[in-house]
Amino acid sequence: MDMKTMFNLTYGLFVLTAAAEGKESGCIINTAGQVTVEPNQISITVNKANFTHDLIRAGGTFNLSILDETASFDTFRHFGFQSGREVDKFAGYESCERSANGLYYVTAGTNGYISASVKQTMDLGTHTLFIASVEDMEVLSQVPSATYAYYQSHIKPKPEKPKTAGKTVWRCVVCGYIYEGEELPADFICPLCKHPASDFEKVIL
Ligand code: FE
């Protein structure tokens, strides 16, 4: 079995936003897709560690802003590399508007948004799968959507040139964070994007 086969799956990238009990937040996901046309339903899968996950569970609605090829790394850093439990991601954030359901959607580097309300959930261990009906949606631009592969090749900053030859480091394949050391602890979590040790690759400089 070649585990790299998983890399050949394609994914879009999205800012998922929700609100509940006076709190609002958003996170980056790559796990959204249409599952039925009639009725029009989408699925999203969200890591339980994300504050936005709890807001969706509590509020029952969400907006999915579709990131396009003009999305900046700052947008990924803003929504993906910090936790809504610690910072209000919408405080002073200007590239957003409210849709008819009252939730924010992101207007910078996005080509559309979908407003949906949750109909079913399934506990998947680390994540919850939400099946939701589409309530509203708008196209914002004709820029092609950003795929995960596009993010890897065009949006994520290129790794810095090594200064010390022969040294072993571990690089997060999601955000590029470098862990310096011969061995990466099995329970290591990327401090930037919170992905686990399995998303790190060994690099010999
Ligand atoms: Fe990372």
Domain membership of residue 89 as a residue range: 3-151
- The residues placing their C-beta within 5 Å of ligand 1, an ion, are 172, 174-175, 177, 190, 192-193, 195
Task: Kindly state the DSSP code that residue 164 receives in the 8-state scheme.
Answer: S
How many whole angstroms from 3 Cα to the centroid of ligand 1?
Answer: 20
SS3 breakdown of the chain: % helix, strand, coil, rounded to 5? 15, 40, 40
How many whole angstroms from 169 Cα to the centroid of ligand 1?
Answer: 14
Do residues 137 and 198 both lie within one domain? Answer: no
CA distance 164 to 130: 46
Q: Which of 21-25, 109-113, 200-204 has the lowest mean pLDDT?
A: 200-204
Single-letter code of the amino acid located at 91: A
What number is the average pLDDT over the span 25-50? 97
The structure tokens listed for 85 are 């439990």
Do residues 48 and 141 both lie within one domain? Answer: yes
> Is residue 163 pLDDT above 80, yes or no?
no
How many domains are contained in the chain?
2
Q: Which of 5, 4, 30 is nearest to 147 (CA)?
A: 30
How many whole angstroms from 172 Cα to the centroid of ligand 1?
Answer: 5
Do residues 145 and 170 both lie within one domain? Answer: no
Predicted confidence band at 105 (pLDDT cuts at 50, 70, 90)?
A: very high
How many whole angstroms from 197 Cα to the centroid of ligand 1?
Answer: 9
Tell whether pTM > 0.75. yes
Which residues is 46 bridged to in the sheet?
128
Q: What pLDDT score was predicted for residue 193?
A: 83
Q: Which of 126, 151, 176 finishes a domain?
A: 151
How many whole angstroms from 43 Cα to the centroid of ligand 1?
Answer: 24
CB 166, CB 182: distance < 8 Å: no
Q: What pLDDT score was predicted for residue 161?
A: 64
How many whole angstroms from 123 Cα to the centroid of ligand 1?
Answer: 25
